[in-house]
């Protein structure tokens, strides 16, 4: 009952978002980072908590905005609304390939959200957001090798109340949110919350004048709380959200040698300032995501322990289509992606009641997920002349395509005809379970030893299918080159009988037919067709129906905490994490090549395979950490010093014609995190958060660059800052019956190369972002003026080699300045 009173008190505080604090003393914050309630200053875990009142004042709409006040957290949104990456301490992955699960686990009310498309909705009905830093696989199980984001929503209340608000801003922003809660009976309460978030795009498509990077999303959440007595509680949550947006805008960084050809074919490329946020696309990028589910949490209290069950079923359907070439030429206007993900989870957790010298938790987590993914890419009506132009530039001949068609007996215009392309279909069945146990032994009144273990079993079965109508990409140039070389060397047609009777010549021809032509190696002792190999953009993936992985791992946590005095706690320990095999569910999925494999595929391979990767091996993470948590009446200080590494980090690098999924040998970082909150008077609240670290690839030979493999060992990983600092100041004031505040927060991120295979000077970024808000409360009404990125700080979120345009580079700019006004009424 005391815990419920604390939660209701926090919810009440959250409801009065602009209320003046009554005291200067630091507020006690209750968190559930270790799956039992503890105060933030007592819990020996590196965790940052953002409460509802801060979310409201800072106009933080979603987890993407949250990174401005949590410096260890980075969130990137790139190609589509669903391609969102979460990184903690520089570790994380996921995004555009549905087979690559994130390394940062996201949980909403204890329910695991397996993909970013189900994680990026508006923060609705929020009580607090906890960001746990470092591996959390012991208690959180699946895919928490880098950390955890835990979103906790407000419980329904037995007193009728709620709030409604409307926000208007630049770019025609309209945001409506509301919540109502109240009793149904003496032992039953409900809440219903909803939001509508719309905004015009801040990115202009110069081809048709339409906006890109708009917002058009809505969400609903309903909760039912049933407490038949003091020992039993049931919480039912149902939610649904929809995103229907045009995202995301891509800018040109370097207009390479193919730009002239694009323009000659009637297209255009914007070459002005990338931060004009303009481009030419011959179609709008379309994103639609439907995400919903239901969960039941049941808590049973016994004399010496409690039992918690969390059951959930969720479904996500995402569909997006975009202009693959990012020009207004009709080269590749269709890149249609459809994915459906059905997820079922069940957690059971038995927890001691906290009496005595030993506390413990025993539990299990079951996960079942079915993934269906389809991708179709099809050529436009100018791709053939574009390909012919590329071939002419490489060979000096403008008739290669026609000559090859004639040589193969194909009608003219067969290659790269409009509508040709390829479609891939994947299905993945994933079953996983985790068994965990953790205990806290109070050695003395001040010292506590924590030990935990978790056994994870993760099984996946994958089926891949391919449908190809791209005739050119289906040709086996090794076979064709062999025939040409054999005929040129022997003067005989390459029939089976002739090859069998001229074995020495056949063997010689087999060798030289895979040798590219050069001035030093002219025909016939070479294969002139190999120059066309890079233009086989949509080569078959080689269908398979027997992809399987079966991973298991024992993770552990060992930590010692010591209470120095009533104000200061220190701790130290080690924890491990694990992320299972990620399968390459994309058209870039290729069979592995052995040590003797040709990069062009075997001579007798009818599918003419490119070797690559079908999957990436599991990630294994370890962190050694010592920390300090101190709190006095007006000051709170948290410090964490860490040494963290991930072995076999799952990397997914775009190289211009596709993604390369690979394992880095080892990535590590050493650093320190500092969080400081100071309330010198009831009127002032000051905050400082900083992350200072030294990330490095300890081992990453064979990393994929634009021009081939490179060795990144000893290099700093792209996109990871050495220093990230967030400062905030809030001033509260009161005049008669009016309460008010002024708040500002500033985010600094040191200079970093945004991606490893784009020239450094083209794609560096440093972040200096200022957000601010001010508001008043009068007669029950809150009025808030706010601005984000009010200084108009411009930087690239990421960059990449432009698709099928060698020598060109593109990137994703950040959001520009936004501002608005919010009117809010609580009741």
**What b/e readout covers 521-552, taking b as 16+ CB neighbours within 10 angstroms?**
eeebbbbbbbebbebbbbbbbbeeeebebebe
The two tokens of residue 200 are 């015009």
What is the rounded average pLDDT for all residues in the chain?
86
Strands 211-212 and 286-301: unpaired
CA distance 140 to 746: 32
Q: What are the start-end ranges of the E strands in 71-186?
A: 73-77, 84-88, 104-108, 111-113, 126-133, 147-153, 161-169, 173-185
Q: What is the dihedral of CA 687, 693, 695, 698, to 10 degrees?
A: -150
For residue 643, give Cα distances in angstroms to 90, 455, 692.
Answer: 12, 24, 12
Give SS3 for 207: coil
Q: pLDDT for 111-121, tens place per residue?
A: 998 876 666 66
Q: Read off the pLDDT band of 555 (50, 70, 90).
A: very high
Q: What is the pLDDT of residue 798?
A: 84
* Beta carbons of 196 and 168 less than 8 angstroms apart: no
Residue of 714, 669, 718 whose CA lies nearest to 695: 669
CA distance 383 to 535: 11
Task: State the DSSP H helix or E strand holding residue 296, giving kind and residue range, or none if neither.
Answer: strand 286-301
* Beta carbons of 717 and 693 less than 8 angstroms apart: no
DSSP letter for each residue of 580-640: --EE--STTB-PPP-TT--TT--TT-TT-PPP-BSEEPPEEEEEEEEEEEEE-SSEEEEEE
Q: What is the pLDDT of residue 25?
A: 56
Q: pLDDT for 645-658, tens place per residue?
A: 999 998 888 877 77
User: What sign has the CA pseudo-torsion 39, 42, 44, 45?
Assistant: positive
| Mean per-residue pLDDT, 74-89 | 77
* Beta carbons of 379 and 351 less than 8 angstroms apart: no
DSSP letter for each residue of 471-512: TGGG--HHHHHHHHHHHHHHSS---HHHHHHTHHHHHHHHHH
* Beta carbons of 799 and 810 less than 8 angstroms apart: yes
| Mean per-residue pLDDT, 557-584 | 94
By mean pLDDT, which of 503-507, 620-624, 686-690 is the weakest? 503-507
**What b/e readout covers 15-31, taking b as 16+ CB neighbours within 10 angstroms?**
bebbbebeeeebeebbb
For residue 536, what is the DSSP state? -
For residue 527, what is the DSSP state? B
| Mean per-residue pLDDT, 167-185 | 96
Residues 6 or more apart whose CB falls under 8 angstroms from that of 409 comprise none
Measured from the Cβ of residue 738, the count of other Cβ atoms closer than 10 Å reads 12
Q: What is the pLDDT of residue 342?
A: 96
| Mean per-residue pLDDT, 161-182 | 96
| Mean per-residue pLDDT, 673-697 | 94
Q: What is the pLDDT of residue 42?
A: 80
pTM for this prediction: 0.88
Q: pLDDT for 427-459, tens place per residue?
A: 999 999 999 999 999 999 999 999 999 999 999
CA distance 765 to 768: 10
Q: What is the pLDDT of residue 59?
A: 82
Q: Is the pLDDT of residue 21 over 50?
A: no
| Mean per-residue pLDDT, 554-567 | 94
Task: State the DSSP H helix or E strand holding residue 11, giving kind and residue range, or none if neither.
Answer: helix 2-15
Strand partners, 222: 192, 238
Q: Is the pLDDT of residue 418 over 60?
A: yes
Q: What is the pLDDT of residue 594?
A: 53
- Residue with the larger pLDDT of the pair 225 and 589: 225
Residue of 203, 286, 145, 377 whose CA lies nearest to 797: 203
Q: What is the pLDDT of residue 250?
A: 93
Task: State the DSSP H helix or E strand holding residue 665, giving kind and residue range, or none if neither.
Answer: strand 659-681
Q: Is the pLDDT of residue 139 over 60?
A: yes
| Mean per-residue pLDDT, 273-289 | 93
Q: What is the pLDDT of residue 503?
A: 58
**What b/e readout covers 128-155, taking b as 16+ CB neighbours within 10 angstroms?**
bbbbbbbbbbbbbbbbbbbbbbbbbbbb
Q: pLDDT for 45-67, tens place per residue?
A: 888 888 888 888 888 877 778 88
The two tokens of residue 149 are 């984001």
* Beta carbons of 590 and 597 less than 8 angstroms apart: no
Q: What is the pLDDT of residue 161?
A: 94
* Beta carbons of 99 and 586 less than 8 angstroms apart: yes
Q: Read off the pLDDT band of 604 (50, 70, 90).
A: very low
Q: pLDDT for 296-313, tens place per residue?
A: 999 999 989 999 999 999
Q: Is the pLDDT of residue 755 over 60?
A: yes
- Residue with the larger pLDDT of the pair 605 and 85: 85
- Whole-angstrom Cα Rg for the chain: 29
| Mean per-residue pLDDT, 33-38 | 79
Q: What is the largest CA-CA distance in the chain?
A: 105
Q: Report phi then psi at 264, rounded to 5.
A: -65, -25
Q: Is the pLDDT of residue 638 over 80?
A: yes
Q: What is the pLDDT of residue 706?
A: 66
Q: pLDDT for 396-415, tens place per residue?
A: 888 889 988 888 889 999 99
Q: Read off the pLDDT band of 165 (50, 70, 90).
A: very high
- Residue with the larger pLDDT of the pair 805 and 82: 805
CA distance 91 to 86: 8
Q: What is the pLDDT of residue 108?
A: 92
Q: Is the pLDDT of residue 590 over 70?
A: yes
Q: Report phi then psi at 665, rounded to 5.
A: -60, -45
For residue 445, what is the DSSP state? S
CA distance 500 to 512: 18
Strands 104-108 and 147-153: parallel
Measured from the Cβ of residue 768, the count of other Cβ atoms closer than 10 Å reads 12
The two tokens of residue 493 are 């047609």
CA distance 472 to 420: 10
Residue keyed to tokens 């570790």:
91
Q: What is the pLDDT of residue 656?
A: 75
Q: Report phi then psi at 15, rounded to 5.
A: -65, -35
Residue of 166, 191, 163 whose CA lies nearest to 178: 163
Q: Is the pLDDT of residue 526 over 90?
A: no
For residue 488, give Cα distances in angstroms to 404, 482, 492, 509, 684.
Answer: 17, 10, 8, 9, 86
Q: Is the pLDDT of residue 24 over 60?
A: no
CA distance 550 to 192: 42
By mean pLDDT, which of 16-20, 285-289, 545-549, 742-746 is the weakest? 16-20
Q: Is the pLDDT of residue 787 over 90?
A: yes
For residue 65, what is the DSSP state? H
Q: What is the pLDDT of residue 67?
A: 82
CA distance 400 to 408: 12
The two tokens of residue 48 are 């940052």
């Amino acid at each position: 009952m005391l815990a419920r009173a604390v939660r209701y008190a926090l919810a009440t505080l959250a409801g009065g978002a602009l209320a003046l604090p009554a005291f200067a003393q630091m507020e006690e914050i209750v968190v559930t980072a270790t799956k039992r309630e503890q105060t933030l200053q007592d819990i020996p875990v590196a965790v940052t908590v953002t409460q509802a009142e801060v979310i409201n004042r800072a106009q933080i709409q979603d987890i993407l905005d949250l990174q401005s006040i949590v410096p260890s957290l980075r969130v990137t949104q790139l190609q589509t609304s669903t391609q969102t990456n979460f990184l903690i301490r520089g570790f994380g992955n996921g995004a555009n390939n549905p087979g690559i699960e994130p390394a940062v686990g996201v949980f909403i009310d204890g329910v695991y959200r397996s993909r970013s498309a189900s994680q990026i909705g508006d923060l609705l009905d929020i009580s607090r957001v906890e960001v746990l830093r470092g591996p959390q696989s012991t208690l959180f199980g699946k895919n928490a090798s880098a950390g955890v984001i835990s979103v906790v929503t407000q419980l329904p209340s037995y007193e009728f109340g709620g709030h409604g608000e409307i926000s208007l801003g630049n770019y025609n922003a309209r945001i409506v949110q509301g919540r109502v809660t109240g009793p149904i009976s003496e032992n039953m309460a409900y809440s219903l919350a909803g939001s509508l978030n719309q905004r015009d795009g801040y990115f202009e498509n110069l081809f048709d004048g339409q906006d890109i990077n708009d917002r058009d999303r809505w969400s609903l959440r309903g909760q039912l709380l049933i407490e038949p007595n003091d020992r039993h509680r049931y919480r039912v949550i149902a939610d649904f959200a929809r995103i229907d947006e045009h995202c995301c805008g891509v800018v040109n960084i370097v207009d390479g040698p193919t730009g002239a050809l694009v323009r000659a074919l009637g297209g255009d490329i914007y070459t002005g300032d990338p931060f004009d946020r303009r481009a030419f696309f011959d179609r709008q990028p379309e994103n639609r995501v439907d995400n919903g589910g239901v969960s039941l949490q049941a808590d049973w209290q016994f004399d010496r322990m409690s039992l918690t069950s969390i059951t959930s079923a969720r479904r996500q359907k995402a569909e997006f289509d975009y202009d693959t070439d990012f020009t207004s030429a009709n080269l590749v206007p269709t890149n249609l992606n459809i994915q459906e993900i059905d997820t079922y989870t069940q957690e059971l957790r038995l927890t001691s009641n906290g009496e005595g010298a030993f506390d413990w938790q025993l539990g299990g987590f079951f996960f079942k997920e079915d993934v269906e993914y389809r991708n179709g890419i099809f050529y436009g009506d100018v791709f053939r002349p574009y390909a012919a132009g590329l071939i002419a530039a490489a060979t000096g001949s403008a008739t290669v395509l026609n000559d090859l068609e004639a040589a193969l007996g194909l009608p003219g215009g067969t290659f790269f005809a409009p509508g040709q392309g390829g479609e891939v279909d994947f299905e993945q069945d994933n079953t996983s379970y985790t068994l965990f146990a953790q205990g806290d032994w109070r050695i003395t009144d001040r010292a506590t030893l924590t030990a935990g273990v978790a056994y994870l079993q993760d099984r996946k079965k994958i089926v891949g299918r391919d449908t190809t109508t791209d005739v050119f990409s289906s040709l086996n140039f090794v076979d064709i080159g062999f025939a040409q070389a054999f005929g040129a060397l022997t003067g005989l047609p390459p029939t089976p009988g002739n090859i069998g009777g001229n074995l020495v010549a056949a063997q010689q021809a087999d060798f030289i037919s895979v040798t590219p032509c050069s001035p030093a190696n002219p025909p016939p002792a070479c294969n002139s067709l190999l120059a066309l190999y890079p233009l086989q953009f949509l080569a078959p993936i080689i269908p398979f129906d027997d992809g399987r992985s079966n991973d298991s791992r024992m993770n552990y946590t060992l930590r010692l905490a010591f209470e120095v005095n009533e104000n200061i706690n220190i701790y130290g320990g080690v924890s491990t994490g694990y992320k299972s095999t990620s399968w390459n569910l994309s058209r870039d999925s290729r069979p592995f090549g052995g040590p003797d494999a040709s990069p062009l595929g075997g001579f007798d391979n009818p599918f003419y395979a490119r070797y690559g990767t079908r999957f990436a091996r599991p990630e294994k993470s370890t962190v050694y950490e010592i920390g300090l948590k101190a709190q006095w009446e007006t000051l709170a200080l948290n410090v964490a010093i860490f040494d963290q590494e991930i072995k076999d980090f799952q990397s997914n690098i775009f190289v211009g014609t596709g993604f390369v999924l690979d394992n880095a040998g080892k990535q590590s970082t050493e650093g320190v995190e500092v969080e400081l909150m100071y309330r010198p008077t009831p009127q002032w609240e000051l905050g400082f958060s900083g992350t200072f670290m030294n990330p490095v690839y300890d081992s990453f030979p064979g990393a994929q660059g634009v021009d081939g493999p490179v060795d990144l060992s000893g290099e700093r990983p792209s996109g990871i800052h050495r220093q990230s600092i967030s400062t905030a100041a809030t001033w509260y004031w009161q005049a008669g019956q009016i309460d008010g505040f002024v708040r500002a927060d500033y985010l600094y991120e040191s200079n970093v190369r945004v991606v490893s295979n784009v020239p450094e000077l083209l794609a560096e970024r440093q972040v200096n972002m200022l957000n601010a808000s001010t508001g008043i409360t009068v007669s029950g009404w809150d009025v808030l003026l706010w601005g984000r990125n009010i200084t108009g700080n411009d930087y690239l979120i990421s960059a990449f080699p432009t698709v099928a345009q060698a020598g060109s580079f593109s990137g994703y700019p950040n959001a520009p300045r936004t501002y608005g006004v919010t009117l809010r009424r609580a009741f």
